[in-house]
Amino acid sequence: MSEWQLQLQNQVNTLEKLEKYIHVTDEEREAIQTIHTKWGTTPYFAGLMDPDDPDCPIRKQVVPSLKEKENRYGIENYLIYKENRATGEKRPDTIARQYHDRVAFTVMNTCAIYCRHCFRKELVVDESLKLKFDVDEGLEWIREHKEIRDVLITGGDPLLLSDEMLDYIIRKLREIPHIEMIRFGSRLPVVLPHRITKGLLKVLGGYHKVPIWLNTQCNHAKEITERTAEAVYDLMTAGIGVGNQAVLLRGINDDKKSFKELHQKLLSIRIRPYYVFYCEPAPGIDHFRTPVEKGAELIRDTLRGHTTGMAQPMYVVATNIGKIPLMPDYYITDKNDKEYILTNYKGQVTTTPNIPD
């Protein structure tokens, strides 16, 4: 059995196993014992938790909280609504759609970490939503819909599939003439970097007319280790671009120091910040949400002008009609017929000509 499979086999998903890594608080213990939910992570990622700090940013993503019982703002049946699964268009369970030319291809509901803030919580964590993961049915639907040019393979975590199954999915997608790009959404480079094996790189890598991109999710600089850096380097050496899609999470990365450190450290290991997502209104995750403006303010106050532009993600909210940017124009402070008045990150003012349409 390979190292990554041993990590999965020994997943930290019981109170007894968790107590080997942290000093469990009474509140954490009560949450684990009373909330009927799937939870857990890899021994590798559990080892990054602070054993004495319940506010550890990794620990809060892993360990269930009593706050998950509260649901003031979350939308029931959220994934049905968000992924347009109840519309008139007939699609297999594996296909979610918000755009004309691209789809999310959901191939499984298993993860290496069951993030407490997961927007697919109903499918992956609570398992109240049951989907039929028929990969061939999904491939056939994609083949029949010639407007689809871009496929995001997601889950669960699709990189938990065997190399053989991943090779099959990729090969079948590349046989479809109208497919131009394949993307994977996976936290494994962060929570289970052991999965980035020579066998997997052979499946994903190499020069192809239909390229593969991978977006991971890292929410705090503490998650970034040398093991992840090596996995990312191996992916990029194989020809796979790696981006990050962080989620803005109250008490984890919504302060200036954590937010800036995260995005600078991502670049230091060759991960390009791509999106920061506003925490979606899935049920039972109210305690992770911030005011909507918070992400834009953090980008303005900690990244734009304060560090390289490559560290600046786009701040968006994912909705049933697609992703919507949440970036107010803080920098155009005024305009007249002659010019725009612009202010930089230091508060310094300059102008640029107002060009008529």
- Which pLDDT score, from 0 to 100, does residue 88 have? 82
- Which pLDDT score, from 0 to 100, does residue 329 have? 86
- Which pLDDT score, from 0 to 100, does residue 18 have? 98
Walk across the sheet containing 332-335 and list its strands: 332-335, 339-343, 349-353
- Which pLDDT score, from 0 to 100, does residue 330 have? 86
Question: In a structure prediction context, what are the per-residue pLDDT tens digits for the chain, which is 357 residues long?
Answer: 899 999 999 999 999 999 999 999 999 999 999 999 999 999 999 999 999 999 999 999 999 999 999 999 999 999 999 999 988 889 999 999 999 999 999 999 999 999 999 999 899 988 888 999 999 999 999 999 999 999 999 999 999 999 999 999 999 999 999 999 999 999 999 999 999 999 999 999 999 999 999 999 999 999 999 999 999 999 999 999 999 999 999 999 999 999 999 999 999 999 999 999 999 999 999 999 999 999 999 999 999 999 999 999 999 999 999 999 999 888 899 999 999 999 998 999 999 999 988
SS3 sequence of 15-53: HHHHCCCCCCCHHHHHHHHHCCCCCCECHHHHCCCCCCC
- Which pLDDT score, from 0 to 100, does residue 254 have? 98
| Residue 132 CB burial class (10 angstroms; 0-12, 13-18, ≥19) | exposed
What's this model's pTM, rounded to 2 decimal places?
0.95
Cα 193 from Cα 177, distance rounded (Å): 33
